[in-house]
Amino acid sequence: MCARKAPCYMGQRVGTLLVRNARQLLTLRGPSGPRRGSALRDLAIIQDGAVLIRDGVILAVGLTRRVENLSDARHAREIDASGCVVAPGFVDSHTHLICGPPRLADYEMRIAGAGYEEIAAAGGGILLTVRAVRETPIRRLKNQARDTISEFVRHGTTTVEVKSGYGLDDITERKILRTARALDGKPLSLVPTYLGAHAVPPEWKGRADAYIAWMCAGMMPALRRSRLAEFVDIYCSRGAFTVEQARTYLTAARELGFKLKIHAGQFAADAAAKLAAELEAVTADHLDYAGEDDIRALAASHTIATLLPGAVLHLGLSRYAPARPLIDSGAAVALATDYNPGTSPTCSMPMILSLACAQMRMTPAEAISAATINGAHAVGRAARCGSIEAGKDADLVIYNVSDYREIPYHFGMNPVALTIKRGEVIYSAVRATWRED
């Protein structure tokens, strides 16, 4: 296990840092694109590995005896990762980070047997959160988000996608996206996504087409000019938006220069996954009801299938996304938490890995790749994070385990010893050791 308790200088910027003696260093070095098929199982492991970091960027990666003899390593501060696994920080590519308070009444109704649509009809669901977020001052939203970010950090996540979608009006959607901008880099990298098409807002009840037209003609062009969002997303589902409405919305977003995401096939089969492939969306997310045609379309496309098993667990459902057929067909697969107050209130990517392995039959190596390098591709950040390679940001996690397979094996436990973002320790369970000569 990791070295004995010692000072870790948490929060201090370090010019040159050497992480050494990793029992397993999971570099994830490999092809330039998202990992598919057998490549998803190749973690490019270095036994007794080391990482040399300078000014927050990875300088060298390799065997400890080689890296520690480099001239730049001679006066570096050191973290002794003896007996530990060192891996890239998780990239959580689907979250609703800025989302107001938990929906506890919904939770109790669900325990009693109520379904998603029944809860919404009773005044719960997405629109309950919309009302709460509209009424919450931006300062309180920031404080709530900071608390949540601390949990992401504690569980080894270093990059997070952040969706809007709990405002559903001009003022509140901007408030959410501005909050994300203000929190970017403090300490995590936040990637903003406009999800105005999360639900039909109460002001537009019965006029979904008109609401789509308003977003296409007014809201999205304004967001593009202000650069508040990088991606645009839409929720295709019964009670939300149809595939044809999604086509209109996403086509307009693509013409404006946004990158595309789509919620597809969460509660029933639909054609949203095939639409994602057709429009060259970056991701199609959920896919619990993806069928053979959807799988073939995704496998033949550049669209990444982002799977969200946390929502299936929390909703008490039994149908998980078909990860095994997707991977075996050659589709690119990512994993994410879907953090939100209604259907997946978790920040724990290790728990998502456990679900992916136990419930979707992914191997531990496939799950780690899906949650790191493929997650980075899913948010357009693969050039900076998702693997441990020279020239990339030094986003690392040190795990207090001796074999990477233990990360999903110990479900519901947090194996993270240290989280490092751009060369700075941002979380420490004080199990790994700094050492200075």
We report the CATH number of the domain holding residue 53 as 2.30.40.10
Q: In this structure, is residue 183 part of a structural domain?
A: yes
Q: In this structure, is residue 10 part of a structural domain?
A: no
Spatial contact of 268 and 55, defined as CB atoms under 8 Å apart: no
Q: What is the pLDDT of residue 436?
A: 47
Distance CA 425, CA 416 (A): 12
Instruction: Name the strand (E) or helix (H) holding 103.
Output: none
Residues 58 and 105 in one domain: no
Domain boundary among 331, 359, 378: 378
Residues 304 and 336 in one domain: yes
Residues 56 and 114 in one domain: no
Q: In this structure, is residue 317 part of a structural domain?
A: yes
Spatial contact of 87 and 7, defined as CB atoms under 8 Å apart: no
Distance CA 180, CA 366 (A): 30
Q: What is the pLDDT of residue 1?
A: 40
User: For residue 95, which of 166, 19, 12 has the smallest C-alpha distance?
Assistant: 166
Residue type, 345: P
Residue 363 lies in domain: 91-378
* Interval 387-410: pLDDT, tens: 999 999 999 999 999 999 999 999
Q: In this structure, is residue 42 part of a structural domain?
A: yes
Whether omega for the bond prior to residue 322 falls within 30 degrees of 0, making it cis, is: no
Q: What is the pLDDT of residue 122?
A: 87
| Residue ranges of the chain whose pLDDT lies below 50 | 1-7, 9, 431-434, 436-437
Tally the domains of the chain. 2
Compute how many other C-beta atoms are within 10 angstroms of the C-beta atom of residue 182: 14
**DSSP line for 50-101:** EEEEETTEEEEEEEHHHHTTSGGGTT-EEEE-BT-EEEEPEEE-SB--S--S
Q: Supply the CATH number for residue 250's domain.
A: 3.20.20.140
Residues 72 and 213 in one domain: no
3-state secondary structure of 7: coil
Dihedral sign computed on CA atoms, order 346, 351, 356, 360? negative
Dihedral sign computed on CA atoms, order 59, 64, 67, 72? positive
Residues 106 and 174 in one domain: yes
Domain boundary among 378, 395, 420: 378
Spatial contact of 46 and 61, defined as CB atoms under 8 Å apart: yes
Residues 58 and 147 in one domain: no
Tokens read off for 350: 């290790």
Q: In this structure, is residue 2 part of a structural domain?
A: no
Residues 224 and 139 in one domain: yes
Tokens read off for 235: 């929720």
Q: In this structure, is residue 3 part of a structural domain?
A: no
**Model confidence pTM above 0.75:** yes
* Interval 86-101: pLDDT, tens: 999 999 999 999 998 9
Cα angle 66, 82, 429 (rounded to 5 degrees) comes to 130
Residues 391 and 430 in one domain: yes
Domain boundary among 360, 378, 396: 378
Distance CA 174, CA 192 (A): 11
The 8-class DSSP code of residue 395 comes to -
Residues 316 and 404 in one domain: no
Residues 53 and 161 in one domain: no
Q: In this structure, is residue 9 part of a structural domain?
A: no
Residues 311 and 395 in one domain: no
Residues 269 and 283 in one domain: yes
Q: In this structure, is residue 7 part of a structural domain?
A: no
